[in-house]
A = this chain, B = another copy of it.
């Protein structure tokens, strides 16, 4: 079980183990039933190895979620002196990145298993996904918002609330529609346009040059 714990930490994954986890991801993305036998077949490994490395089916799922999370983790935002243009570009980038993540087949598949799991309460996949998705982007975006406030570009009392507004403006109904099976095809242009719109709207609400909407 020590192996399991190392993997649960989301690191020290050997290349071979990474191949196995990629096999899991490929099965998930295909919507195929995720049986241990199917994983072993797809990864060309034995079930015995799966159990040795990951403990049980649940551990395999956890490892997969963290494997994908560790890969998605983008570089952190670098605190900097901001001007309005740099802020706008950063916000657009955040929005575009988030939109492309939540519409990716991998993200959709992983969120599906995590949500199903959260229902049965077996494991804590939901918490892991939440931690690496919604909360991770929050922790990355809030420093930007605070720097922008520091620079007098934005106006808000609560960074968390401002972030949640940005999150809502960016995500809208996209994620729930994707999760519920609607096939949304967002081209690069669609995403760029939406990201620009979101950013404009966010500026309208929290930009210092505009009249800020104050929180109740």
Q: Residues on A close to B: CB < 8 A? A: 31, 33, 109, 111-116, 118-121, 124, 126-127, 129-130, 134, 164-165, 167-173, 175-177, 179-182, 193, 196-197, 200-201, 204-205, 211, 213, 215-216
Instruction: Pick the residue among B113, B118, B170, B177 that contacts A181 (CB under 8 A).
Output: B118
Instruction: Tell me the bound Cα distance from A196 to B151 in angstroms.
Output: 29
What number of copies of this chain does the assembly contain? 2
Assess the A130–B165 pair: CB atoms within 8 A: no
Beyond A130-B180, A130-B182, A168-B169: 12 further Cβ-contacts under 8 Å? A109-B119, A112-B115, A112-B119, A118-B180, A121-B181, A126-B181, A168-B170, A171-B173, A176-B176, A201-B213, A204-B204, A204-B211
Assess the A168–B172 pair: CB atoms within 8 A: yes
Instruction: Tell me the bound Cα distance from A167 to B169 in angstroms.
Output: 9
Contacts of A168 in B (CB 8 A): 168-173
> Smallest distance from the beta carbon of A37 to chain B beta carbons, Å?
17
> Smallest distance from the beta carbon of A208 to chain B beta carbons, Å?
14
Assess the A165–B176 pair: CB atoms within 8 A: no
Instruction: Tell me the bound Cα distance from A61 to B131 in angstroms.
Output: 31
Instruction: Tell me the bound Cα distance from A164 to B177 in angstroms.
Output: 12
Contacts of A129 in B (CB 8 A): 180
Assess the B126–A116 pair: CB atoms within 8 A: no
Which 4 A-B pairs rank lowest in CB-CB distance, beginning with the nearest?
A: A118-B181, A126-B181, A168-B172, A126-B180
> Smallest distance from the beta carbon of A52 to chain B beta carbons, Å?
28
Instruction: Tell me the bound Cα distance from A122 to B59 in angstroms.
Output: 26
Assess the B196–A165 pair: CB atoms within 8 A: no
Assess the A118–B201 pair: CB atoms within 8 A: no
